Chains A and B, each alone.
Chain A
Amino acid sequence: MATIGTNEFKAGLKIMLDGEPTNILENEFVKPGKGQAFSRVRLRKLISNKVLEKTFKSNETFETADVMDVELAYLYSDGEFWHFMNNDTFEQIAADSKALGDNLKWLVENNLCTITLWNGIPITVYPPNFVELEIVQTDPGLKGDTAGTGGKPATLSTGAVVRVPLFVQQGEIVKVDTRSGEYVSRAQK
């Protein structure tokens, strides 16, 4: 694996830190006129998803991480693994529940997801920013409420629970922002 010095760090570069692939978010060069140079780096560990700040001596070297993002379509789950397919090559890949984490609740068949691979193995799965899902359970709303005063909880077909306006009814399809988990609108018919 290639090594890289802190002086070459830039946003988006992936390195190995404590055995975990890590994404560089920001790198600030710190150099007293007459003293040792440092790099103050903000980074995100790609498995635990923790963001942290570290200070390194300049020219300290790290292994680069073999990490890449691919766009794959979600196919199905066999209960243990979630299977995705490359729509161009028809190659399939399976992700485990650790890689999916909370994003499990936004998986919709045939949706294109962004999957981060480390040494060819999925470590994170990001659903599209917006998904459309059916409401399988919600209390009937009050008549006349159109603005949505706080709303009510609704359970979607994947098990996700979002707050929806009172006028939205069971059986309807709603559009949800997966990054915030918030209701956006009723789906266009």
Chain B
Amino acid sequence: MTHTIDWRPSASIETLQQRANIIRQIRDFFYQREVLEVDTPALSHASVTDLHLRAFSTQFNDPGAPKASTLYLQTSPEFAMKRLLCAGSGAIFQLSKAFRNEEAGRWHNPEFTMLEWYRPDFDHFMLMDEMDDLVMPILATGKAQRLTYQQAFMQVLACDPIATDLVELQRLCVELGYAELAVKEDDKDVLLNLLFSQHIEPAISQQQPCFVYDFPASQAALAKLNPEDPRVAQRFELYYKGVELANGFHELSDPQEQRQRFLQDNIKRQQHGLPIIAVDEYFLAALENGLPPCAGVALGVDRLLMLALDCKRVSQVLAFSHTNA
């Protein structure tokens, strides 16, 4: 039977060599700029509260404890890295595995390589500048274009995503052929996500990479709100050829507001019948101590490799994709 078992790597050895070169190029970039490489835990006691992220969890049988405790595989090393920043690490970067359950497809593998870095005293625009320096040589393109979330929507769909109400948005979705989904959806962000992923992403970034910033405040995640227009948050993403490559923030540092957002997430989780996730008290305690003003970003390394090496599926840049891992 052994001949029917597909034991071979999903990437070619040549691709794995190119992968190694690009990862070394990334590491060299940060070492030259004296950004400290860190290695934070993959397993932790707490996880993210995001409505749309599913963490893997497992039971830890601690020989010194009376009963087993739940540990989560990290969906990104964000909380741990920010705790290092609070402890005075200065600029840091990490290349690590991130794990997300219920994600698999052409662009998704349930475990993937993430590059995450933080820059004290940077805002999100300065971080975009640095991303231009790092990412564009790998993609062999010029600097990325920059659009606000609102501009991108106006340009592609002639619709203002911030001012538009739910009914208007439903009407637009019906016009574009999503009637079944749109008429029963009462969450504006779900419809915005639909339109953004199906229409905006493919349209804005075909020729050159594009940063989109000033996301709606309802999609702020861990970003500061824009002090000049609190309807939007200082969150940005990078797209190229219709693919989401990176997500970054001018980081929220207010522990009270951070706790509020976690609680809001958990209320939404409850409404959707999802388990409540205990908030990460280590992270909140670190914020109490003070997070230096900073910007941070997480970039999907496998996707960067796919685009740089012109691969059609994420499995083509992985030693073993989840189907034969």
Chain A residues with CB under 8 Å of chain B are 7, 28-38, 40, 53-58
Chain B residues with CB under 8 Å of chain A are 50, 52-53, 102-108, 177-178, 180-181, 185, 189-190, 193-194, 196-198, 219, 221, 237, 244, 247, 300
Q: Determine whether the beta carbon of A37 is less than 8 Å from that of B180.
A: no
Name the B residues within 8 Å of A29 (CB-CB). 103-108
Given A35-B189, A55-B178, A57-B190, also A30-B197 (CB < 8 A): yes
Name the B residues within 8 Å of A58 (CB-CB). 102
Q: Determine whether the beta carbon of B194 is less than 8 Å from that of A37.
A: no
Partner of A35, one of B52, B106, B107, B181: B52
User: What's the minimum C-beta distance from A95 to chain B, rounded to whole angstroms?
Assistant: 31
25 contacts between A and B (CB under 8 A): A28-B106, A29-B104, A30-B198, A31-B105, A32-B52, A32-B196, A32-B197, A34-B53, A34-B219, A34-B221, A35-B52, A35-B190, A35-B193, A36-B189, A36-B194, A37-B52, A37-B102, A38-B194, A38-B197, A53-B177, A54-B180, A55-B181, A56-B180, A57-B181, A57-B185
Q: Determine whether the beta carbon of B198 is less than 8 Å from that of A40.
A: yes
Partner of B244, one of A28, A33, A38, A54: A33
Going nearest first, the 8 A-B pairs with the smallest beta carbon separation are A29-B105, A35-B193, A36-B190, A36-B193, A33-B247, A32-B193, A30-B197, A32-B197
User: What's the minimum C-beta distance from B48 to chain A, rounded to whole angstroms?
Assistant: 10
Q: Determine whether the beta carbon of B108 is less than 8 Å from that of A31.
A: yes
Q: Determine whether the beta carbon of B244 is less than 8 Å from that of A32.
A: yes
| Inter-chain pairs besides A35-B189, A37-B103, A38-B197, 6 sampled, C-beta below 8 Å | A29-B107, A29-B108, A32-B193, A33-B300, A35-B197, A56-B180
Partner of A55, one of B50, B104, B194: B194
User: What's the minimum C-beta distance from B24 to chain A, rounded to whole angstroms?
Assistant: 25
Name the B residues within 8 Å of A54 (CB-CB). 180
Name the B residues within 8 Å of A57 (CB-CB). 181, 185, 190
A53 nearest CB neighbor, chain B only: B177
A7, A28, A36, A57: residue with the most chain B Cβ atoms closer than 10 Å: A36
A58 nearest CB neighbor, chain B only: B102
Given A55-B178, A55-B194, also A34-B50 (CB < 8 A): yes
B198 nearest CB neighbor, chain A only: A55
User: What's the minimum C-beta distance from B214 to chain A, rounded to whole angstroms?
Assistant: 15
Name the B residues within 8 Å of A37 (CB-CB). 52, 102-103
Name the A residues within 8 Å of B105 (CB-CB). 28-31
Complex CA gap A38/B189 in Å reads: 13
A38, A40, A55: residue with the most chain B Cβ atoms closer than 10 Å: A55
B106, B194, B221: residue with the most chain A Cβ atoms closer than 10 Å: B194
B75 nearest CB neighbor, chain A only: A33
Complex CA gap A83/B108 in Å reads: 49
B52, B108, B178: residue with the most chain A Cβ atoms closer than 10 Å: B52
Name the B residues within 8 Å of A53 (CB-CB). 177
B192 nearest CB neighbor, chain A only: A35
Q: Determine whether the beta carbon of B181 is less than 8 Å from that of A56.
A: yes
Complex CA gap A58/B51 in Å reads: 13
B102, B105, B196: residue with the most chain A Cβ atoms closer than 10 Å: B105
